[in-house]
Amino acid sequence: MIELDERLRAVRDDCRDAVEDMRARALSIDADPDDMEQHFNSPVYTMIRLSNTPPEYRESVAGGYRLMKAKSVLEDIVGMVELARGDMSTMFACPCPALAGVYVSLLGNPAQQEKFYTKLHGGRTWTFFAMSEPGHGSDATNMQTRLEKDGNGGYLMYGAKRYIGHGARGGIGLVFGRTGRSALSIRAAMVEVPAAGFTAQRLNTVGLRGAYLSELQFDGVPVAADMLLGEHLPVTRRGIWGAVKTLNNMRIQISASAVGTAMAITEYVAEHRKNAPGVDLALARAEAGKQLIFQAAAKLDADPERGYFASASKLSAVRMAQQTAQWAIASIGPAGLIEHPLLEKWTRDVRAFEFMDGTSNIQRLHVARGFQSGDADG
């Protein structure tokens, strides 16, 4: 069992303080994810943005924020569970470095990092991390987006991406494409929007609308050579290597999203249906999920390339959260979903986690492979 030390408890408590603010914003973001003006100045959003920005690239902001720049995946996850207890869609709607920031910090050179993080000052710019493609999901080995040499030392990007968070409103982000045929030729390009040849549209999703999932098309988008990430690294560490590490991290974050949402759902039912059977059981399952993801995060801190525990936690935490949502639907009573729109929204939001960063079937394959390699014992 993972016991939280003083620092981790402080992270948890800071994020726990944000829960009510996030819940208060949740329904309006679900109803109209384009209407964000009223949320930009949320102190919670400022805290999230600054916390996810390396100290050297932070803007100075009045208000004396106690920042908890994560020293570890575990620290990140302890906070994420609490924010997800608030509202995960509101969390996703926050203009901040997000997943692209994880990758930029890992593979970006100082100039790229400065460009990326400085662009986010002010809290009105979203980022995107464009890997999934229509027809291929996040199967990177079949990636079709290509970076063709433009004859002047740069590249032109052609292709399309789908299910990309904030793709249609992000100001800066990463797009993965191929410079050649081999797996090592897959590279991430930093793209600032608007850009010639770049078009994007929001997808109308069932829930989790704050994530602003989008589809993108690239028809000769110019990419300067110095906008490819990882150029300063050995060839084997330039593209997919970073993506694998980032995806392992992201899978635990999605697991935390699922666990936090399951907790929110259970607490909601307990508050509004005082004698609902199964509350203690649902809470116990969510607590087990929390322990699992804490352990998976600690494992990832020890070995960022080993994805067994990240996949195992996503597979089981997402399933647990779905089951909790089903229990809640039964427990809230006839027409309860119409009378309780926040609960109804969470029962839609929680479905999104199945489809993010690898479906359950993909996780099953990863888990089985890792198990056969002995990862369960190491």
Partner 1 sequence: MSTVLEQCERIARDEGLAAGLAAALSGTEVTAAAPGSFAAVPTSKVPDGAEIRTHSLADREDIVFLACPGERPATDYTLAEIGRLLAAVRIGTVRRLLDEAVAYLSERTVGDEPLIRKQLITGTVGDVAAELEMARAYVSVPLAPDALADLHSKLDELGWQVTQLFGAAGYIADHPVRALYVSALVANTWIDRKGAA
φ and ψ at 87, to 5 degrees? -170, 120
Task: Report, in Å, the least distance between residue 87 CB and partner 1.
Answer: 17
Burial of 361 (0-12, 13-18, 19+ CB in 10 A): exposed
Among positions 19-58, residues that touch partner 1 (CB under 8 A) are 31
Residue 126 to residue 52: CA distance in whole angstroms: 13
Task: Evaluate whether 181 touches 221 at the Cβ level (below 8 Å).
Answer: no
Among positions 258-277, residues that touch partner 1 (CB under 8 A) are 273, 276-277
Residue 347 to residue 31: CA distance in whole angstroms: 15
Question: Is 352 a residue that touches partner 1 (CB under 8 A)?
Answer: yes
Nearer to partner 1 (CB atom), residue 117 or residue 212: 212
Among 41, 118, 201, 326, binds partner 1 (CB under 8 A): 326
What character string, x for contact with partner 1 (CB under 8 A) and - otherwise, covers 198-217?
A: -----xxxxx-----x----
Nearer to partner 1 (CB atom), residue 241 or residue 327: 327
Task: Report, in Å, the least distance between residue 120 CB and partner 1.
Answer: 27
Residue 223 to residue 207: CA distance in whole angstroms: 33
Nearer to partner 1 (CB atom), residue 196 or residue 335: 335
Which amino acid would we find at residue 110? Answer: P
Task: Evaluate whether 91 touches 256 at the Cβ level (below 8 Å).
Answer: no
Q: Are strands 155-165 and 213-223 parallel, antiparallel or unpaired?
A: antiparallel
Size of the site for partner 1 (CB under 8 A): 44
Question: Is 339 a residue that touches partner 1 (CB under 8 A)?
Answer: yes
Residue 377 to residue 23: CA distance in whole angstroms: 40
Question: Is 135 a residue that touches partner 1 (CB under 8 A)?
Answer: yes
Nearer to partner 1 (CB atom), residue 60 or residue 204: 204
Among 52, 125, 127, 132, binds partner 1 (CB under 8 A): 132
What character string, x for contact with partner 1 (CB under 8 A) and - otherwise, covers 289-308?
A: --------------------
What would the DSSP string read from start to end of 141-177?
GG---EEEE-SSS-EEEEEEEEEEETTTTEEEEEEEE
> Could you tell me which stretch among 109-117, 148-156, 284-292, 357-365 binds partner 1 (CB under 8 A)?
357-365
E strand or H helix at 311: helix 308-331
CA distances in angstroms from 116 to 89, 122, 333, listed in the order given = 23, 13, 48
Nearer to partner 1 (CB atom), residue 126 or residue 327: 327
Q: Are strands 126-130 and 170-178 parallel, antiparallel or unpaired?
A: parallel
Residue 139 to residue 192: CA distance in whole angstroms: 25
Among 327, 346, 370, 375, binds partner 1 (CB under 8 A): 327
Nearer to partner 1 (CB atom), residue 57 or residue 176: 176
Nearer to partner 1 (CB atom), residue 10 or residue 203: 203
Task: Report, in Å, the least distance between residue 323 CB and partner 1.
Answer: 8
Among the listed residues 176, 179, 200, the one whose alpha carbon sits nearest the alpha carbon of residue 188: 176
Residues that bind partner 1 (CB under 8 A): 31, 132, 135-137, 139, 142, 162-163, 203-207, 213, 273, 276-278, 322, 326-327, 329-339, 344, 348, 351-352, 354-355, 359-361, 364-365
